[in-house]
């Protein structure tokens, strides 16, 4: 057997449970570092409630002392219908899937059919699709002629907000990045210029610095230079998660993608994780599916996914931002 010819199609609950839910919930969702809404009703709205302040009143035996109703605001998340397609030469596809099946426990290599084959093929496509959703979530720009242009990403909203001076933003030069201590200076600058709501939300454990890899590595160098035993141990073993004053530092891993965009190639952003929302819907539009099949004319294995996705910066005032100017 040199080819995989069995066609597979996922729709409805299979599309959700077998294919998308594993990459958009649980640990996979937490790895993205942002708030993920999966299969929320379409159109997707986020409800924001603001309870009344000075709510406590002196107790009286009778009567209603309640003030005005709690304030509710809605933010709509625009979802775009997107399509992902990828093709492999049949022999190459067979080799990749065979390798994944071989890694499974108790795999029957003489019978590449059924559940094990399906799991390997699904895993191959799911991994590629998850990375493309993640990159578009950050760098998407619908006005671009090519590249990640299926829906607008967070950087589109952040750069527009910075241009409109909707929140504190500052630029830095390449020369400043030559000093590892500048990473700490950058974190301090964003924290000190953040509004009171960001400061107050620190106790909720949802704040994060989202940084490009150069800033992440710069901070690692700063920590490595500390003359303490823990720094030596970390230099040997690495660090699973960096943080500054209790706020996690999240590497957005966009270094290989930023070069083809108009966005700054280096940036650091402080915000609440819940302020960055990715929404994916596979249920509310006819024709949403994942399909994998063999094309004998081209001797090619093909994979296609059709679904809806979009993301939103919920509250621009809950952001502080620094970027490297060209």
Average pLDDT over residues 209-218: 97
Query: If residue 256 lies in a helix (H) or strand (E), which one and from where to where?
Result: helix 255-258
CA gap 312, 149 in Å, rounded: 15
Q: What pLDDT was estimated at residue 105?
A: 55
Answer yes or no: are the C-beta atoms of 211 and 218 closer than 8 Å.
no
Range with the poorest average pLDDT among 63-77, 142-156, 259-273: 63-77
Q: What is 135-169 written as a DSSP string? A: HHHHH--TTSSSSS-SS--HHHHHHHHHHTTSS-E
Query: If residue 188 lies in a helix (H) or strand (E), which one and from where to where?
Result: helix 181-192
Average pLDDT over residues 58-62: 71
Residues 6+ apart with CB under 8 A from 167: 161, 316, 317, 318, 319, 320, 321
Answer yes or no: are the C-beta atoms of 76 and 45 closer than 8 Å.
yes
Question: Across all residues in the chain, what is the average pLDDT?
Answer: 87
Answer yes or no: are the C-beta atoms of 212 and 267 closer than 8 Å.
yes
Range with the poorest average pLDDT among 36-45, 183-192, 201-210: 36-45
pLDDT tier for residue 110 given thresholds of 50, 70 and 90: low
- Residue 52's alpha-carbon distances to 56, 69, 72, in angstroms, are 10, 8, 11
Torsion of CA 206, 208, 210, 215, to 10 degrees: -160
| Confidence (pTM) | 0.86
Query: Pairing state of beta strands 169-172 and 319-324?
Result: parallel
Q: Which residue has the higher pLDDT, 173 or 235?
A: 173
């Amino acid at each position: 057997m040199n080819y995989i010819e069995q066609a597979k199609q996922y729709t409805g609950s299979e599309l959700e449970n077998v294919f998308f839910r594993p990459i958009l919930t649980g640990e996979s969702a937490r790895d993205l570092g942002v708030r993920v809404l999966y299969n929320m009703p379409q159109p997707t709205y986020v409800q924001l409630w603001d309870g009344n302040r000075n709510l406590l009143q002196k107790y009286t035996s009778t009567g209603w002392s309640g003030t005005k109703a709690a304030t509710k605001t809605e933010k709509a998340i625009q979802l775009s219908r997107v399509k992902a397609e990828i093709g492999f030469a049949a022999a190459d596809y067979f080799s990749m899937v065979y390798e994944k099946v071989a890694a499974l426990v108790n795999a029957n290599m003489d019978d590449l059919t059924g559940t094990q084959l399906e799991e390997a093929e699904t895993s191959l496509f799911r991994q590629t699709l998850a990375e493309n959703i993640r990159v578009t979530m950050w760098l998407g720009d619908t006005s671009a002629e090519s590249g990640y242009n299926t829906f607008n990403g967070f950087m589109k909203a952040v750069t527009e907000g910075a241009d409109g001076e909707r929140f504190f933003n500052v630029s830095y030069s390449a020369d400043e990045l030559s000093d590892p201590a500048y990473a700490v200076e950058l974190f301090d600058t964003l924290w000190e210029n953040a509004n009171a709501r960001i400061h107050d939300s620190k106790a909720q454990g949802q704040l994060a610095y989202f940084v490009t890899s150069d800033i992440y590595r710069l901070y690692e160098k700063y920590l490595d230079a500390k003359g303490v035993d823990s720094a030596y141990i970390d230099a040997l073993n690495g660090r699973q998660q960096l943080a500054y004053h209790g706020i996690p530092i999240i590497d957005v891993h966009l270094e290989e993608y930023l070069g083809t965009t108009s966005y700054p190639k280096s940036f650091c952003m402080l915000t609440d994780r819940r302020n960055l929302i990715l929404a994916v819907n596979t249920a509310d539009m006819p024709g949403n599916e994942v399909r994998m099949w063999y094309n004998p004319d081209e001797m090619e294995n093909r994979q296609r996914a059709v679904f809806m996705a979009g993301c939103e910066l919920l509250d621009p005032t809950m952001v502080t931002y620094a970027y490297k100017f060209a």
